[in-house]
Amino acid sequence: MKKLEYYLNLNYQIKIRKLSDAEGGGWFAEIPLLPGCMSDGETSQEAIENVNEAKKDWIEASMELGRPIPEPANEDYSGQLRVRMPKSLHRALSEKAREEKVSLNQFIIYQLSRGVGHKL
């Protein structure tokens, strides 16, 4: 069985946002992978510190109750992706790449990057 320290050392994503005046002001932080694990604070740093304390409490309670504790996925990306597509799309992409005098791979990377707003 994994110990508390194991889970506390995992890299859980923390989402943080500024609260409106109607919400009471300050900052709100949560760990989406741990349902209900959230906190707030007057500053963003305080909200993060508080949500890390809530994470510890959340994990301890789950361990005591014998509930499974989700772990963050390993985000080790190879940079490779195999995609199946209709032949007509493959042809159209290949023709556009040829017109631009670039490889099909370069053309697809460029178009995907533009689609997600990523600067190359």
SS3 state at 96 = helix
- pLDDT tens-digit profile of 86-113? 999 999 999 999 999 999 999 999 999 9
- pLDDT tens-digit profile of 14-40? 999 999 999 999 999 999 999 999 999
Which pLDDT score, from 0 to 100, does residue 117 have?
84
From the list 6, 46, 36, 41, the residue with the least C-alpha distance to 26 is: 41
- pLDDT tens-digit profile of 48-100? 999 999 999 999 999 999 999 999 987 777 888 889 999 999 999 999 999 99
**Total-model pTM:** 0.63
* Mean pLDDT, rounded, of the chain: 94
Q: What's the CATH number of domain 4-65, 1.20.810.10, 3.30.160.250, 2.40.420.20, 1.10.3720.10?
A: 3.30.160.250
Burial of 27 (0-12, 13-18, 19+ CB in 10 A): buried
Which pLDDT score, from 0 to 100, does residue 120 have?
66
